[in-house]
Amino acid sequence: MDSFKEKIAVVTGGGTGMGRELVCQLIAEGAHVAMCDVSAENMAETASLANPVEGQRLTSHVCDVSSEALMLAFRDEVAEQHATNHIHLLFNNAGIGGGGEFVTGDRDLWERTFAVCWYGVYYGCRAFIDMLVAAPEGHVVNTSSVNGFWASVGPNVSHTAYSAAKFAVKGFTEALVTDLRLNAPHVKASVVMPGHIGTSIALNTGKVLGTGDALSASAEDVQAIRERLKAAGMPVDNVPDDHIREMMHQRALDFRDKAPTTAADAATIILNDVRAGRWRILVGDDAYALDELVRADPEAVYNPDFIDRVRAAGHFGGLINATDDTAQ
């Protein structure tokens, strides 16, 4: 797909982060775009930033991607509002963090995270596959993560729900490459594996999970965070709870604002690689470095000292071990 001009693209999670930047850049390249998100307010901001020209369609749809019924309704709205029986591009981008602990963690939070990050991709593909096949050419782009090949954010933090979902996205998309070649060869598939990207995932997760942001964390949640920080070697025994809350809120802001790769740069990389027909899209120097380290010594990647190799390569230094909400 050499050009996106006049193509119809669907983007999930278009309200913030990489989803917002994908919408804006696709509009800038002349595509028609349908985006969904759980936040109408965030999508309104995206729409104002994208600023489509006259005759260019940009539609917004409130949708929880973890619900198949809502995803099917989203598809039907796209077909109606874009007056089409086909789309050319599907970006299954929506995601949240959380649900880190399996043995002692909250099952509902675990399953909610898994549902958004995995079933959001699966339901997206189920809902839109016929419309992709109906187009002269099509491309589905599923967002996994470096946590789709390395199920960790450091040795002292459980990271099970997000990693399980992202492994599923990676495996499904890789298998989809063959499935499409055999059954719909004009449709391609790509899996995106970002490293640390400047998005609002750490800020948005609590809103989606219903647990609020760090500033409103319960005493129980603060104590859990305190234990993680202590395990990471930080002397926080006597730090007041409100200071812990402020610290974690600032870390979420820093995750977005001090990332080595911006959301805009990530979207550019993704779109360029889609144009180039690449099925495997690593985003960020940190993603490439981690991929190389994992491939070089897979037996060692969950040893406590593996993170020292990652840090020695200059990546993830300030973000690993503090919280399970900061993987992209």
- The answer, yes or no, to whether residue 149 has pLDDT greater than 50, is yes
- The answer, yes or no, to whether residue 169 has pLDDT greater than 70, is yes
- The answer, yes or no, to whether residue 87 has pLDDT greater than 80, is yes
Instruction: Say what percent of the chain tops pLDDT 90.
Output: 70
**Burial (Cβ within 10 Å: 0-12, 13-18, ≥19) of residue 161:** buried
Residue with tokens 């070089």: 296
Better pLDDT: 8 or 237: 8
pLDDT of residue 327: 33
Classified as helix, coil or strand, 251 is: helix
Q: pTM here? A: 0.84
Where exactly are the structural domains of the chain? 8-312
Q: Dump pLDDT digits (tens) for 205-223.
A: 555 545 556 667 777 777 7
What tokens appear for 310 in the block? 């990652």
pLDDT of residue 48: 97
Long-range CB pairs of 273-278, under 8 A, 24+ apart, other chains included: 273/190, 274/1, 274/89, 274/139, 274/141, 274/190, 275/1, 275/2, 275/3, 275/4, 277/1, 277/188, 278/190
Identify the helix (H) or strand (E) that includes residue 257: helix 241-257
* Average pLDDT in the chain: 88
Q: Dump pLDDT digits (tens) for 265-290.
A: 999 999 999 999 999 999 999 999 99
Instruction: Give every CB contact of residue 50 below 8 A, 6+ residues apart in sequence.
Output: 23, 24, 27, 28, 33, 58
Classified as helix, coil or strand, 328 is: coil
The 8-class DSSP code of residue 184 comes to -
Q: Dump pLDDT digits (tens) for 298-328.
A: 999 999 999 888 888 888 765 544 333 333 3
pLDDT of residue 193: 98
CATH H-level, domain 8-312: superfamily: NAD(P)-binding Rossmann-like Domain (3.40.50.720)
pLDDT of residue 119: 98
